[in-house]
Structure 1
């Protein structure tokens, strides 16, 4: 079971890398006012959602303690990120506030995952 959990964790990290990488590659475009949400950002967020749910289930099935408050906060942040990216995915330009919100919430989600023990 540990191998399966570690594989899902790796996929979860790939998802966050896709979301954050998509954000970082658009930073220069944000300065020019032409930033947009890339498909990689949407797919990364969806990957995070699916693998995050799988991780909670696998950890509970393996009798590991799961901090439900932490998971709930991370899920709420991810739902906001997904909503912003999904709704504005087809727009040629995304306003700076929405774009920064997605990047900021992504970084906050990373810090909650790594710092909150």
Structure 2
């Protein structure tokens, strides 16, 4: 079961890489207002969502019985749901409001900070 947890962590990191990378590649367009939601952003956020849920399930399983910080996981999940909603609602637009796009980036960084700093 520990191998499954480790694979889920790897996939979770791949998801955050796609989400953050999709944001960073579009940052140049924020000056001109020419930004859009790339598939990397939506797919990365969805990957994080699914693997995050699976990680909690694996940690709570009787085989590992590892503790779960419900407040931290709930906060991270809430932030990720907002990212998903913003990305999903704007994914088909040719141009996305820079405030919405900036919010996705800031929330992504916040989610990383929560994961690393919340002990």
Normalising by structure 2, report the TM-score.
0.97
Alignment-derived partner of residue 57 in structure 1: 57
Gaps of 5+ in 1: none
How far is 1:13 from its partner? 0.3
Alignment-derived partner of residue 47 in structure 1: 47
Q: Residue 73 in 1 paired to residue 79 in 2?
A: no
How far is 1:29 from its partner? 1.0
Alignment-derived partner of residue 106 in structure 1: 108
Alignment-derived partner of residue 11 in structure 2: 11
**How far, CA to CA, are the matches of 2:40 and 2:20 in structure 1?**
9
Alignment-derived partner of residue 94 in structure 2: 92
Moved over 2 A (4+): none
How far is 1:17 from its partner? 0.3
**How far, CA to CA, are the matches of 2:111 and 2:23 in structure 1?**
14
Gaps of 5+ in 2: none
How far is 1:91 from its partner? 0.5
Alignment-derived partner of residue 27 in structure 2: 27
**How far, CA to CA, are the matches of 1:52 and 1:35 in structure 2?**
28
Please give the secondary structure, in 2, of the residue aligned with 1:32.
coil
**How far, CA to CA, are the matches of 1:68 and 1:20 in structure 2?**
24
